[in-house]
């Protein structure tokens, strides 16, 4: 039996680092953001359908996220059209990962897991969290987005308290050692459940 664990959390809360900890402890990890990069890259599954819908979004044979941002800023209704293209392609990528994976525990790193209803396909959900001050500092220290962009992303995401309330496990990512200990504890619990099944 294979266990499917959803991993979610809000921007800057340490989800990618936590996904890395699960991988180090023997889990296979599917990363939604990496999958988007794959399907947007030259030759990726999204290039042709996006080109048909948004011709100016293609730059050097790949989907340009910058160009897409400009298109969506001008026409917010285009977001639904883009999702209709991207979501089925991501679902196919996720299925291919599931079919090929050999680990007992598969971790699905999906920022918008609850927002997209993806939790229904999971056996359990783990949510990473950290206090709002640390979250803001982490995001802005990256130097890749402005405060306004950070607020815009936050506004699209379900409040972290709600995500935690809907999750089976909560991982505090205040320090790496603390996060690592919690990941180990979660895996022990899941593997015990698998052994008893």
Greater confidence (1 vs 107) lies with 107
Q: Which two tokens stand for residue 196?
A: 């008893």
Q: What is the pLDDT of residues 109-137, one digit of tens each?
A: 999 899 889 999 999 999 999 999 999 99
Give the domain ranges of the chain.
1-27+103-192, 34-101
- What is the structure's pLDDT at 179? 97
What's the pLDDT at 67? 93
Other Cβ atoms closer than 10 A to 186 = 21
- pLDDT of 197 strictly over 80: no
Please give the pLDDT value at position 23: 97
Q: What angle do CA 166, 172, 177 make, to 5 degrees?
A: 145
Measured distance CA(9)–CA(16) in Å, rounded: 10
Classify the C-alpha dihedral 67-33-129-175 as positive or negative. Answer: negative
Superfamily covering domain 1-27+103-192: P-loop containing nucleotide triphosphate hydrolases (3.40.50.300)
- What is the overall mean pLDDT for the chain? 94
pLDDT band (50, 70, 90) for residue 31: very high
Q: N- to C-terminal Cα distance for the chain?
A: 8
User: Residue 51's pLDDT band (boundaries 50, 70, 90)?
Assistant: very high
């Amino acid at each position: 039996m294979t266990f499917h664990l959803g991993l979610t959390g809000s921007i800057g809360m340490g989800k990618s680092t936590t996904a890395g900890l699960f991988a180090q402890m023997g889990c296979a990890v599917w990363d939604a953001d990496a999958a988007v990069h794959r399907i947007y890259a030259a030759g990726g599954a999204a290039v042709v359908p996006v080109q048909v819908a948004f011709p100016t979004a293609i730059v050097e044979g790949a989907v340009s996220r910058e160009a897409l941002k400009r298109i969506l800023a001008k026409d917010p209704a285009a977001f639904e059209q883009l999702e209709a293209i991207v979501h089925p392609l991501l679902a196919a990528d996720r299925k291919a990962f599931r079919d090929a994976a050999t680990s007992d525990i598969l971790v699905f790193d999906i920022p918008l897991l609850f927002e997209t209803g993806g939790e229904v396909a999971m056996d359990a959900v783990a949510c990473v969290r950290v206090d709002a001050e640390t979250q803001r500092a982490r995001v802005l220290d990256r130097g890749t987005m402005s405060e306004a962009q950070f607020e815009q992303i936050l506004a699209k995401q379900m409040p972290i308290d709600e995500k935690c309330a809907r999750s089976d496990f909560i991982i505090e990512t205040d320090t790496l050692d603390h996060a690592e200990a919690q990941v180990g504890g979660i895996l022990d619990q899941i593997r015990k459940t698998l052994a008893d099944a």
